[in-house]
Structure 1
Amino acid sequence: MELQRRPDQNLPERKGQKRKLEEELDDEREISLQSGDARQALLSEVSAQVNVLTSTYSWKEADRAAAKRATHVLAELAKNEEVVNVIVDGGAVPALVKHLQSPPLTSENERGAKPFEHEVEKGSAFALGLLAVKPEHQQLIVDNGALSHLVALLRRHKDGLCSRAVNSVIRRAADAITNLAHENSSIKTRVRVEGGIPPLVELLEFTDTKVQRAAAGALRTLAFKNDENKNQIVECNALPTLILMLRSEDAAIHYEAVGVIGNLVHSSPNIKKEVLVAGALQPVIGLLSSCCSESQREAALLLGQFAATDSDCKVHIVQRGAVQPLIEMLQSPDLQLREMSAFALGRLAQDAHNQAGIAHTGGLVPLLKLLDSKNGSLQHNAAFALYGLADNEDNVSDFIKVGGVQKLQDGEFIVQATKDCVAKTLKRLEEKIHGRVLNHLLYLMRVAEKAVQRRVALALAHLCSQDDQRTIFIDNNGTLKQQLDGSVALYKLANKAMTLSPMDAAPLSPTPQVYLGEQYVNSVTLSDVTFLVEGCKRFYAHRICLLASSDAFRAMFDGGYREKDARDIEIPNIRWEVFQLMMRFIYTGSVDITLDIAQDLLRAADQYLLEGLKRLCEYTIAQDISLENVSSMYELSEAFHAISLRHTCILFILEQYDKLSARPGHSHLIQRIIPEIRNYFAKALTKPNTHNSRL
C-alpha cells in the first residue's frame, strides 16, 4: 500500500533571513520608553539628527562630518527595537534615503578630495536596514525611493575604487535590501525591477568575503517563493559561483550559498536539474560534515529536495556517502538537525536499494527513537522514513529484532498524518511476513537471545496470518519451549482479549436485577426477613430484593430449605463487615472494596452466587498481585472458581516468566499453567477480532 505524497508535501521551508546588522559604534545606550518624558526626549533627539541630515546635503567637509555623525547616532538608536517606531515617527526615513546618494557637485573644487566619501551613504544604509527589521516600515522606506539608491550602491566598486569604505557601503546596501525584502513579495519583485539582482550576483565573486556573504544573503531572501527572481538569478549565471562557495572553508560563506541554492530549487524542478548538472551534489553532501550546524541543516534539507527529483538522484546521493552523516545527525542534540536529517532519509528511503542500505548502516534505531519526540514535525519525518524502510523485506527482520513493531504500536503520535503513516507501515510489515522473511523470524525464535525471541514472538502474534499463528504458537511441532519464550506475545494477545476491569463487573444473573436503593439497606421498613450474623447482630432485609439477586437466595426462599418460611435466618462463618458489604451490593449494585476485606468478600460472593460482586472482588485482589503472592492468588482463584482472577494471574506469570522461573518454589506453578498457555493461544486466535484490532 503506497502512501501518497505530493512532490513538496511536508517540505520544510527555508526562508530568507533578516540580516542581523552589527557595527562597532561607540556609546552603547540602553533606552527605555516606559515614560512619556523619555519618549519625548528621544523624539527631540531624533528630530535634531533629522534636521542635521536635511541641512547638510553638500560636499562641505563640515556638512559631511555632521551628516556622518547624524547617521551614526540614528543607527545606534535603531539598534534598540523599542525606539525604531519613534525614529520613523521623527521623520528619519526620507532624510536617510536622501543621503544614500552622494550630494551633487556644485563647483570644480569639489571634484577633488571628497570628505567622508562612502561613509555617509554607508551610515544611511545601515540605519535604514535596522529600521526595515520591522515589517511595517519596509514599504515606507521603499516608497521614499530607497531601492534605486541601494542598487546604485551595489555598483560603487565599478568606479575602480577598492577600499574598506567601498566594501562597507556595498555590504550595508546588500544587508538593507535583505531586510527590506524579508517576507515581502512585492518588494522582492521591486528589487528585480530596479535591477538589483545582476549586481548582487556579480558580488558573489567579490574579493571581500563579507561582501560575498551579504550578497548571498540578499539573493537567498529574493529567491524565496518568487519564481521570476529565481529564474533571473540563474540566468545571471549565479550557479557556478554558488557551487564554488559551497566548498568554502568559511562557514558563513557556505551557509549562505547552500541557503540560496535551497531557495532556488524549492518547488522548481527545472532549476533542480540545472543545479545538479552544475555539480552541486557532492559539495552539498560534503556540508553534512561541516562544523557549522546551520550548514548541516541546510544541506540535509537540500538533499531531501534533490531526492524528490528522480530515482537515479536518490541512489546517487547514497552512493556518494550521504547516509552515514545523516544517520549521525539523527542523534544530534539539535532538534532541527534531527528533523532535517529524518526528512532527507525519508526521501532517500523511497528507493528499494537505499532502504536496505539505510537500515544496514544503522538508521533504524535512531529513527525509531525519534518517534518518542514531542515535536510533531520531527515525529512525522521519522515515521515517513520508517514507512520507506518497511517496504524492503530485507529490513523486516531487523525492524522486529530492535523492537520496531512494539514502538509503532505503542507510540503516542501527535498529528493524524503520523498516525496514518504508522498504520500503513504496520500494514506494510504485515504483508511481508511470509516466505523467507517468516523462515528467518522462526529461525530467530530458535537461536536468538531471549529478548529478541520475545520481540519476534510478539510481532508474529500481531502481524502474521492466522494460519501461521496457529502453526507457530499452537502446533509448533510439539515444542513447548518456544511457547514459553513467546509468553510476552501470549500476554499481549490474551490481555487485550480478556483483561479484567471494573466495567466487567456487571451482574450476570439471568433475572433482571432489582435495586431497592441505599435507603433500604438494613432498614426495618417493609422488611420481611432478618439475618442473624455473628450469632446476635440483626440485618433487616427484603425477600423481593434477595430473590432477584442470585440463584442461591432464590433456592433459599423458593425451594425446600428450612429458611423458606423462617423470619430469622442465621448466617454462619461470615463476619458482620463482610455481610454488610455483600448486602449493600445486593441493594445498590455497587460497593467500595478494600484489599483487607476483598478475599473474605470473594468467599461470601462465591457462596451466595453473586457474580457481579465476585468479579469486583477479583478486580480488587488482582491489583495486588506480585512476584511474592502470585502463587497464593492463583490458589485462591482456583478455590473459588474466580475465572477473571485466574486469567490475571496467568497473564502476570507469563509477563514475569523470567523472574518467576528464577525464584525457588515457583517452577511447579509455571508447570501447572502450561496447559493454560495452549488454551489461551487457541482462544486468542479464534476470538472475534474486536478487542485486538490491528492499527
Structure 2
Amino acid sequence: MESQQKRQRTTRLAGRNLRRKLSRETDASSSIVMQITEVVDEEANLVVAIRRHLEVLNSGFSDREAVKEAAAAISSLAKIDENVEMMVENGVIPALVRYLESPWSLAINPNVPKSCDHKLEKDCAVSLGLIAAIQPGYQQLIVDAGAIVPTVKLLKRRGVCLGCMEANAVIRRAADIITNIAHDNPRIKTNIRVEGGIPPLVELLNFPDVKVQRAAAGALRTVSFRNDDNKNQIVELNALPTLVLMLQSEDPSMHGEAVDGKLIFIDNNGVEFLLELLYLSGMKQQKYSSRALFELARKATSFAPEDSAPSSPTQRVFLGAEFVNNPTLSDVTFLVDGKQFYAHKICLVASSDIFRAMFDGLYKERNAQNVEIPNITWEVFELMMRFIYTGRIDITKHLAQELLVAADQYLIEGLKRLCEYTIAQDICVDNIPLMYDLADTFNASALRRACTLYVLEHYTKLSSETWFPMFIKKIIPEIRTYITDILTRPVQASSTVKIRPTQQV
C-alpha cells in the first residue's frame, strides 16, 4: 500500500516537472518569435522612416525646415552601420548629393549663406562620409551621383562666414568625404585632382580651426597614397613643410591625420623623395623641393645666438672679468706671442677637457709654471680666455674664423658655437663652398647647417653657378641628416622671435 502511494506521488511530481519544462520551452519559443517579430517590425519601421525622409528630400525646395529635419534624421541614421545598407538600397545617395550645395544659399546671398544652410549641407556631408566608409561600392555610387564637384566647392567655403562654427563643420565634413571616397580607389583619387580638389585642401592646412586642418591633412594623405600625380601636385603647392610640421606636433590627433608613422603621404622614403628632386629632376621640381625643405627647416629651427651657445660638456667656473690676465692667485702663466698671460688652473680645468688633460693628467704642462701657446695670436687667445672666465664675449667678424680654430682645438663648445654664428652672417653665393669646407674641417655643425639652410633658400640662384652640381651632391648627406634630425624631435611652441643668419646674395 505504502509502495503504491509512493509511486503515485512520484508520478504526480514527474508530471508537474514535465508540464513546467514544456511551459518553459513554449515561453522560450514564444520569446524567439517575439524577438524575430520585433526585428522585422524594426526593419519595416526603418524602411518607412527612410522613405518618409527621402520623400521630403525629393519633394523639392519649397519647405526648407522640413528638408533640414529630414537631412538631420538621415545623418543620425547613417551613424549606425547596420542602417547604411538599407539607406543605400532606398536611394538616399543622390538626394544627399543634391543638397551638398544648398539651394537657398544663393537665393539669400551669393557670398554669405545663413547658418541653417550650413547645417543642411553639413548633415548631408556627414551622411555621405559615413556611407562611403562602409564599403568600396558605396564610394563609387557617391562619385557617380556627382559628389566631387559640390564637395570641392564646400572646401572653398573658407572665405565665407568667417568664424562661423557651422561653416567650419561643413568644410571639415567635405574633407572627410574626400578621404572616404578616395580610400584605396586610384580612379577616384585622379578624379579629385582633375576636379581641382587638391589646392583647396592645401590651403586648409593653414585654416584657423585645428579640426579643419586635421581633416585636410587626412584627405591629402589619402589622395596622394600611391598616386604620383597627386603627390607631385601637393609638392608643387608647397604643402610639405606644413604637413611635416603637423607630424612633429605634440598633439597625438595631429599625428593620426598627418602620417602613419612615416613622413606625410610619402611612403617610407619621404626625405629621399625630396632629396632626389634636388639633383635627379628638372629645375622646376628642384625649386619646389628646395623650397619645401627650406620652409620645413625654417619653421622648425632657429639659429639665435642663445641657441647657438650651449654649455660646455664639462662644468665651468666663471671667476669673472677682473681675473682675466690677473697675476692675483695665478698658478700658471702662458707665453703667447712672446708675452705672459696669467691664468688660474681651476677655471681652465672646469671649462675645457684639453686643459683638464693638460693640468690634471700626465702631460709635461702639469707642473710647468710657464706654458707656451703656439699658432694662436695674442688677440685670439685673450678672447678665448675672456670667454672661459666670463662665459660671454663680443666676437668681431675678422677674428671669428681664427677664434673658431682655437675653440675647436681646446674643445670649448660654447665659444665654438658663438664663432659659428658670427661666421654664418657672412655666408653668400661666392663663398658658400669655402664656408661649408670650413665647417666640415672643424666639425662646426651649426655653421654646416647654416650653409645647408642657405643653399635651400637660395637654390635657384646657386644653381646657375658652374660648381653647384658637384657641390649639391656633396652636401646631400648633410641635408638628409639635418631634416632627419628635425623629424625626430618635437616642435616646441614658442613666442620667441627666431633669428637666422643674415642672408647675402
The interval holding the TM-score normalised by the smaller chain is 0.5 to 0.7
Distance change >3 Å, CA 604–CA 519, structure 1 → 2? closer
1:527 aligns with 330
After TM superposition, give the deviation of residue 694 of structure 1 in Å.
Answer: 10
Q: Which residue of the other structure, out of 405, 429, 447, is the alignment partner of 1:606? A: 405
Is 1:585 the counterpart of 2:349? The answer is no
Distance change >3 Å, CA 298–CA 425, structure 1 → 2? farther
| Count of residue correspondences | 413
Q: Alpha-carbon deviations, 1:101-123, whole Å to 9, x = none? A: xxxxxxxxxxxxxxxxxxxxxxx
Q: Alpha-carbon deviations, 1:522-569, whole Å to 9, x = none? A: 354421456799999x9642356558858699999x9999xx656999
Given that residues 367 and 382 in structure 1 are in contact (C-alpha distance below 8 angstroms), is that contact kept between their aligned partners in structure 2? yes
Distance change >3 Å, CA 535–CA 230, structure 1 → 2? farther
Distance change >3 Å, CA 610–CA 328, structure 1 → 2? same
Is 1:418 the counterpart of 2:243? The answer is no
1:315 aligns with 140
2:421 aligns with 620
1:278 aligns with 90
Normalising by structure 2, we get a TM-score of: 0.63
1:330 aligns with 155
After TM superposition, give the deviation of residue 323 of structure 1 in Å.
Answer: 0.6
Q: In the TM superposition, what are the counterparts of 1:211-610 in structure 2 within 5 Å? A: 234=46, 237-247=48-58, 248-250=60-62, 251-267=64-80, 269-270=82-83, 272-290=84-102, 291-292=104-105, 293-294=117-118, 295-332=120-157, 333=160, 334-352=167-185, 353-394=187-228, 395-411=230-246, 413=249, 415-424=251-260, 426=262, 429-431=265-267, 446-447=281-282, 450=284, 452-455=285-288, 502=307, 515=317, 517-518=319-320, 521-522=323-324, 523-529=326-332, 540-542=342-344, 549=352, 574-575=378-379, 581-587=383-389, 590-591=391-392, 593-594=393-394, 597=396, 599-600=398-399, 602-604=401-403, 606-607=405-406, 609-610=409-410
Partner SS for 1:289: coil
Given that residues 491 and 651 in structure 1 are in contact (C-alpha distance below 8 angstroms), is that contact kept between their aligned partners in structure 2? no
Q: Distance in 2 between matches of 1:627 and 1:317?
A: 55
The one-letter code of the counterpart of 1:296 is E
Given that residues 376 and 415 in structure 1 are in contact (C-alpha distance below 8 angstroms), is that contact kept between their aligned partners in structure 2? no
The one-letter code of the counterpart of 1:286 is R
The one-letter code of the counterpart of 2:394 is T
Distance change >3 Å, CA 444–CA 311, structure 1 → 2? farther
Q: Distance in 2 between matches of 1:443 and 1:515?
A: 47
Q: Alpha-carbon deviations, 1:306-360, whole Å to 9, x = none? A: 2233321210110111011101101103312201211222221224132232233
1:169 aligns with none
Q: Distance in 1 between matches of 2:85 and 2:49?
A: 15
Moved more, 646-655 or 259-268: 646-655
Q: Distance in 2 between matches of 1:383 and 1:639?
A: 38
2:111 aligns with none
Partner SS for 1:651: helix
Q: Distance in 2 between matches of 1:545 and 1:432?
A: 50
Distance change >3 Å, CA 514–CA 322, structure 1 → 2? closer
Q: Distance in 2 between matches of 1:635 and 1:405?
A: 26
Partner SS for 2:80: coil
Distance change >3 Å, CA 456–CA 694, structure 1 → 2? farther
Q: Distance in 2 between matches of 1:360 and 1:386?
A: 14
After TM superposition, give the deviation of residue 489 of structure 1 in Å.
Answer: 8.2
After TM superposition, give the deviation of residue 288 of structure 1 in Å.
Answer: 1.4
Q: Specify every segment of 5 or more residues in structure 2 that has no aligned partner in the other structure, as ranges.
A: 1-38, 106-116, 161-166, 491-505
The one-letter code of the counterpart of 2:197 is G
The one-letter code of the counterpart of 1:527 is S
Q: Alpha-carbon deviations, 1:596-623, whole Å to 9, x = none? A: x354365346357334255133233156
The one-letter code of the counterpart of 1:265 is A
Q: Alpha-carbon deviations, 1:233-271, whole Å to 9, x = none? A: 646x3443432321322333322221122223331523x
Given that residues 531 and 570 in structure 1 are in contact (C-alpha distance below 8 angstroms), is that contact kept between their aligned partners in structure 2? no
Q: Distance in 2 between matches of 1:551 and 1:444?
A: 42
Given that residues 330 and 342 in structure 2 are in contact (C-alpha distance below 8 angstroms), is that contact kept between their aligned partners in structure 1? yes
The one-letter code of the counterpart of 2:67 is H
Given that residues 285 and 321 in structure 1 are in contact (C-alpha distance below 8 angstroms), is that contact kept between their aligned partners in structure 2? yes
Distance change >3 Å, CA 402–CA 622, structure 1 → 2? same
Given that residues 304 and 347 in structure 1 are in contact (C-alpha distance below 8 angstroms), is that contact kept between their aligned partners in structure 2? yes
After TM superposition, give the deviation of residue 635 of structure 1 in Å.
Answer: 9.9
2:474 aligns with 679
Q: Distance in 1 between matches of 2:375 and 2:225?
A: 68
Distance change >3 Å, CA 319–CA 587, structure 1 → 2? same
Partner SS for 1:384: helix
Given that residues 307 and 313 in structure 1 are in contact (C-alpha distance below 8 angstroms), is that contact kept between their aligned partners in structure 2? yes
Partner SS for 1:424: coil
Q: Distance in 1 between matches of 2:319 and 2:41?
A: 80
Q: Distance in 2 between matches of 1:442 and 1:532?
A: 54
Q: Distance in 2 between matches of 1:569 and 1:268?
A: 81
2:435 aligns with 634
Distance change >3 Å, CA 431–CA 343, structure 1 → 2? closer
Higher relative contact order (CA 8 A, sep 6+): 2
Partner SS for 2:99: helix
Normalising by structure 1, we get a TM-score of: 0.48
The one-letter code of the counterpart of 1:400 is V
After TM superposition, give the deviation of residue 399 of structure 1 in Å.
Answer: 3.7
Given that residues 529 and 567 in structure 1 are in contact (C-alpha distance below 8 angstroms), is that contact kept between their aligned partners in structure 2? yes
Q: Distance in 1 between matches of 2:400 and 2:337?
A: 15
